[in-house]
Amino acid sequence: MAIDHWTTTPTLRGERVLLRPTVLADVDGLARAYDVETTRYFLYGSQSGPPTEESVAEALASDRQVLTQVEAGTGEIVGTTSIYNMSELHRRVTVGYTWLSARVRGSAINSESKLLLFDHCFERLGAVRVELNVDEKNERSRRAVQAIGATEEGALRRHARRTDGSWRTTIVYSVIDQEWPQVRARLVERINRRTR
């Protein structure tokens, strides 16, 4: 029987990172990888705090495809990411709810994770648009998204509450299918640069 990739959470293997469907048993590894900085700019709610059985169960019960990020060399859980707001009809998806442990932040793991996710979205799903939403105050993430060649499309003002209760402006970025070959080349270049 053929796999319906639009409804089945994928397993994506790279040289440095494995992205696999999250299971409830991942909670301890996710809790070890977590620090306050990882979700500083997340929206108000259970996903913005330290991972617990309740918050992981809530994520798994949502309409997101939730993935655990595992460092390939050590087998250690180093973070999480998700594919969500999926529309097979319109062939668009959003990638987000992403965080990595401090130990691997800024390494090639994040770039390889994005490469694996975008390859999955564009090549396997046949998506024409992948969207990323970033808090306007999250300068590090905004620089990273811009560095791979995603296009800034605009700002959603007072879009959602942050964990501290303040109102967030969300900056919307996208990569579309015609841009994917160039963006892919930039991601590969970033991975190579960070592993030299």
Residue 76 has pLDDT above 70, yes or no: yes
Q: In 62-138, which ranges are continuous DSSP H helix?
A: 108-119
Environment class of residue 35 by beta-carbon count within 10 Å: exposed (0-12), middle (13-18) or buried (19+)? middle
Model pTM score:
0.93
Overall domain count for the chain: 1
In a domain, 129, yes or no: yes
Q: Is residue 7 part of a domain?
A: no
- The pLDDT-based confidence of 2 (bands split at 50, 70, 90) is low
In the chain, what percentage of residues exceed pLDDT 70?
98
| Residue 98 belongs to some domain of the structure | yes
Tell me the pLDDT tens digit for each residue of 97-155.
999 999 998 889 999 999 999 999 999 999 999 999 999 999 989 999 999 899 999 99
Q: What mean pLDDT comes out for the span 175-183?
A: 97
Whether residue 196 is predicted with pLDDT greater than 80 in this model: the reply is no
Host domain of residue 187? 12-195
Quick check: is 3 in a domain? no
∠ Cα 183 175 143 (to 5°): 70
Q: Are 90 and 156 in contact (CB under 8 A)?
A: no
CATH code of the domain in which 32 resides: 3.40.630.30
Torsion of CA 155, 157, 162, 165, to 10 degrees: 170
